Homo-oligomer: A and B are copies of this chain.
Amino acid sequence: MSGNTFGTLFTVTTFGESHGPAIGCVIDGCPPGMELSEADIQPELDRRKPGTSRHVTQRQEPDLVEILSGVYQGKTTGTPIALLIRNQDQRSKDYGNITDTFRPGHADFTYWCKYGIRDPRGGGRSSARLTAPVVGAAAIAKKWLKQKFGTEFSGGMTQLGDIQVPFQGWEHTTQNPFFAPTADAALLERMESYMDALRKDGDSIGARIQVLARNVPAGLGQPIYDKLDADIAYAMMGINAVKGVEIGAGFESVSQRGSVHGDEITPHGFVGNNAGGVLGGISTGQDITVSIAIKPTSSIRVPRRSLDIHGNPVVVETFGRHDPCVGIRATPIAEAMLALVLMDHALRHRAQCSDVMPQNLFTGD
């Protein structure tokens, strides 16, 4: 209720601050009997960790995960799985100059308004570092969904500032530092140069990320409030710096006619996917497709007008090791949130409807 638990039947309760002793989470509701070890989780954490290229924060943090509970003899027991990640790079002196001032566009202003407390240690609780435990938890969800339904996730950057990234294939996202789904060397070179110039300017930039889930069973989603797309929107908008969410055709739907937008159905499946895999808040069996807008980082060197905690006008410049484009590391996080939503709804569906099994209209099963 206080906002640190994600999900309803597969819940992830996170704790920790960017520069405190540790971060982690408690995962409740994982079905028993699934093989699980740190080796299932660590690779996902490695995908989002800092310091992997010159375009992201240079903070060095191995983010080693320890499973504290919920696994016995290599299998989940059905009891809570606690993940612990000790913070190692707690260098908070970089933030010394911002202790009493508010960065324009940053959560430090609103945390002050809400709690009456400043925790300047790297953004404290509002830091994107807190996505690490979630990515860890989602690794468990991904494994279960894969085993149960064959569900798979992909994602990548489709726009960096004004630079569009035409889609060539998800397999390319592992071959460049942007998770860009392209093998276009010239384009990637342009993105690199763009980032270098930006960093030199001490400025930051936004990005657009797309994520996708394949092999999602039809029927997931709880109308009329915990619709699958509503919960996806909640999950995505809750990621640090996200300002917009689209499902399927998204804002293009505004100028589409119904005769164009509605995906026709044939015995071989849907024709098109303007729905993004969700109709009436329930999955259709198509791919779930989601796009998000990520704003530019607020911690920049460019001087900006602001206030201090006493209300006095100040000029703020933020030094330290910040991502100039938080969108670059957002792909594994967005995939993780999508996985958590699907996992939760898979459990919710079988609670309410486990006896219902309409004929698969396409396969006749």
Among A13-63, those with CB < 8 Å from B are 13-17, 20-24, 26, 28-29, 31-33
Which B residues lie within 8 Å of A24 (CB)? 68, 82
Expressed in whole angstroms, the Cα–Cα distance for A295 and B246 within the complex equals 12
Residue of B113, B267, B350 near A284 (CB, 8 A) is B113
Which B residues lie within 8 Å of A265 (CB)? 102, 104, 109, 305-307
> What's the minimum C-beta distance from A102 to chain B, rounded to whole angstroms?
6
Within 8 Å of chain B (Cβ to Cβ): is A124? yes
A 311-337 binary contact with B (CB < 8 Å = 1; else 0): 111000000000000000000000000
Which B residues lie within 8 Å of A310 (CB)? 359
> What's the minimum C-beta distance from A305 to chain B, rounded to whole angstroms?
4
A6-B225 CB under 8 A given contacts A15-B81, A125-B79: yes
Stretch from A175-183, A184-192, A205-213 at the B interface: A205-213
- Complex: chain B residue closest to A108, CB-CB: B280
Expressed in whole angstroms, the Cα–Cα distance for A283 and B267 within the complex equals 46
> What's the minimum C-beta distance from A137 to chain B, rounded to whole angstroms?
12
> What's the minimum C-beta distance from A284 to chain B, rounded to whole angstroms?
6
Which B residues lie within 8 Å of A121 (CB)? 72
Which B residues lie within 8 Å of A312 (CB)? 267
Within 8 Å of chain B (Cβ to Cβ): is A339? no
Expressed in whole angstroms, the Cα–Cα distance for A297 and B80 within the complex equals 25
Known: A110-B221, A206-B254, A226-B238. 7 other contacts (CB 8 A): A2-B11, A5-B225, A33-B355, A78-B356, A206-B256, A238-B281, A250-B293
The reply to whether B115 and A353 contact each other, CB–CB distance below 8 Å, is: yes
Within 8 Å of chain B (Cβ to Cβ): is A236? yes
Within 8 Å of chain B (Cβ to Cβ): is A64? no
The reply to whether A117 and B75 contact each other, CB–CB distance below 8 Å, is: yes
> What's the minimum C-beta distance from A78 to chain B, rounded to whole angstroms?
4
Expressed in whole angstroms, the Cα–Cα distance for A82 and B264 within the complex equals 35
Expressed in whole angstroms, the Cα–Cα distance for A299 and B24 within the complex equals 34
Within 8 Å of chain B (Cβ to Cβ): is A65? no
Among A200-238, those with CB < 8 Å from B are 203-208, 218-227, 229-238
The reply to whether A5 and B28 contact each other, CB–CB distance below 8 Å, is: yes
9 sampled A-B residue pairs with Cβ under 8 A: A2-B28, A13-B13, A14-B224, A17-B72, A24-B68, A72-B119, A78-B117, A207-B254, A208-B251
The reply to whether B293 and A246 contact each other, CB–CB distance below 8 Å, is: yes
The reply to whether A258 and B227 contact each other, CB–CB distance below 8 Å, is: no
- Complex: chain B residue closest to A347, CB-CB: B351
Within 8 Å of chain B (Cβ to Cβ): is A139? no
The reply to whether A203 and B21 contact each other, CB–CB distance below 8 Å, is: no
A 253-281 binary contact with B (CB < 8 Å = 1; else 0): 11111111111111100010011101111
Within 8 Å of chain B (Cβ to Cβ): is A112? yes
A296-B253 CB under 8 A given contacts A13-B13, A15-B81: yes
> What's the minimum C-beta distance from A155 to chain B, rounded to whole angstroms?
16
Expressed in whole angstroms, the Cα–Cα distance for A310 and B261 within the complex equals 24
A26-B2 CB under 8 A given contacts A106-B280, A283-B110: no
Closest 8 CB pairs of A and B: A107-B280, A105-B262, A3-B222, A204-B258, A110-B282, A351-B351, A234-B234, A230-B238
Pick from A13, A81, A267, A350 the residue with the most CB of B within 10 Å: A13
